[in-house]
Amino acid sequence: MNKEILREIPYKALAKTITFPQILATLAQEGVESYHVDFIRNEYRYYGRDGETFVTDVPLVHDEVAPDFCTERLEHINQKVQAGNAWYPDFVKEGAAAGCAYYIVYLGGRKVRYFGRNGDEHIQHFPNPK
């Protein structure tokens, strides 16, 4: 895993210069198996197929993670992002407001698991490629 490339990905997403499908393609090319985004600690953790890991802090801008987990709000912001009507900074703010404390993306499993502060969770499968 090229740590410089991994470090740049969240910044590109926050700058609205890379899309989720582009992120997935780059991470797959770098040998990433999954990654964990923590809205409480504002950090990314990458896990490689070869067992290598990498952690980096990211200045995510959002209010405090809401205590109540709202699946509907997560679904709504994800639909907006998928439709091209919102970007990653919008997802970060809305995700925290929806009570998402962290999420884990599984590249091979083609899904994201979202977790609330009290153990609530929601699984979203990647949309089928067009």
Domains of the chain: 3-125 (3.30.1810.10)
Rounded distance between C-alpha atoms, residue 15 and residue 26, angstroms: 17
pLDDT band with cut points at 50, 70 and 90 for residue 83: confident
Beta strands in 12-118 (DSSP E): 32-38, 43-48, 53-57, 100-106, 111-116
What average pLDDT does the chain have?
94
Beta bridge partners of 45: 36, 55
Average pLDDT over residues 19-25: 90
SS3 for 5? Answer: helix
Q: Find the mean pLDDT for residues 99-115.
A: 97
Strand ranges of the sheet holding 43-48, from the earlier edge strand across to the other edge: 53-57, 43-48, 32-38, 100-106, 111-116, 121-125
Position 84 scores a pLDDT of 86
pLDDT, position 130: 59
Q: Which pLDDT value is given to residue 112?
A: 96
Side chain identity at 31, as an amino acid letter?
G
| Residue 129, pLDDT above cutoff 70 | no
Integer-rounded Cα radius of gyration of the chain: 14
pTM for the full predicted model: 0.92
> What is the per-residue pLDDT across 31-81, written as a single tens digit (0 to 9) for each?
999 999 999 999 999 999 999 999 999 999 999 999 999 999 999 999 998
Per-residue CA distances from 30 to 16, 63, 76, 105, 130 (Å): 21, 32, 30, 15, 23
Report the pLDDT value the prediction gives residue 52, as an integer from 0 to 100. Answer: 97
